[in-house]
Amino acid sequence: MQFKSTNRHIFPWGNDRRFNAYSNYFRKLYGARIQKVLVDAGFTCPNRDGTRGTGGCTYCNNDAFNPSYCLPGKSVTQQIEEGILFHKKRYREASSYLAYFQAYSNTYAPLSKLKRLYEEALNYPGVIGLIIGTRPDCIDDKKLEYIKSLSQRCYLSVEYGIESCYDKTLRRINRGHTFREAVDVLKATAALGINTGAHFIFGLPGESREDMLKEAAIISELPLKTVKFHQLQIIKGTVMENEYLHKPSDFQLFTWGEYLEFFIRFLERLNPEIVVERFTGEAPPRFLNGPYWGKKRADEIVSLVEKRLAELDTWQGRLFS
């Protein structure tokens, strides 16, 4: 599908922003701002506990991304309560909230435990739905049927960490699953009418810029409602940090200027029906060993991307067909 900009620049997603933005998606659904509140329910992953591997993903240190209120020693209710207070102090007040089970693999437990945790979150006043972050190999038919039943009474999305479309990369970063597994579970989830999301990282070792750009066509064919993109950040204390220190030539890490230009090219090729939640990741500087982009917050990065899109008179999906 191709389309032309007009003088008013109203795009297929129904507004004049040059990409299909996550915030606008929720405003269209609910007519108001919706805020995510993170929950760490103490899960692990099959590539950590020996089921599929040990050590976890080579880039992973969840402490670099969890806010201070998000600790598995606290109940789900306490984390949501503190998370709402945290966001009220830092951001504009939202009208409703989504409980985001983010850390590690949040379907990697018996169904009885999942029911208890998810229901506790949904019982909190103001929580209108769930986002469940997990892996393609941590879901089964019974869990999907239960999640389908939840999705019929509240907003719900299952967000799969996929990271790369290339099996050679997935093996190198110790993901423990293949891209084919990810595709199959996305199709099974979407077939039940459940919203699907995915997460990808640009700059993983062994991938060229051209490899990364080609992923736009692959991702565009997936049954996705939303997608997140992050630049690779070398996090201190990870296996990948050691790899980077010993063989930096294997990594094509981005400066901010390089990433901006790359991401514009990528966005032009991405299916305009897919809602884009994030362009980048943001870890505190004390965790980083590698290129540092300065104190650019997520909202500033969005503004810079939109400014560049306008300068080039381009938009998400302009080159998609």
Confidence (pLDDT) at 92? 66
- pLDDT (mean) for 300-309: 96
Cα–Cα distance measured from residue 211 to residue 251, given in angstroms and rounded to the nearest whole number: 13
Q: How would residue 295 be classed by pLDDT, with cut points 50, 70 and 90?
A: confident
Which structure tokens are listed for 3?
Answer: 């389309």
Q: How would residue 80 be classed by pLDDT, with cut points 50, 70 and 90?
A: very high
Find the distance separating the first CA and the last CA of the chain, reported in whole Å: 5
Ordered by start, the domain boundaries in the chain are 22-311
Interval 4-39: pLDDT, tens: 444 467 899 999 999 999 999 999 999 888 999 999
Q: Does 22-311 carry CATH code 2.40.128?
A: no
Q: Mean pLDDT for the chain? A: 93
Interval 187-227: pLDDT, tens: 999 999 999 999 999 999 999 999 999 999 999 999 999 99
Asked if residue 257 has pLDDT above 80, the reply is yes
Count Cβ neighbours within 10 Å for each residue of 242-279 and write b for 16 or more, e otherwise: ebbeeeeeebbbbebeebbebbbebbbbbbbebbbbbb
Interval 115-159: pLDDT, tens: 999 999 999 999 999 999 999 999 999 999 999 999 999 999 999
Confidence (pLDDT) at 6? 45
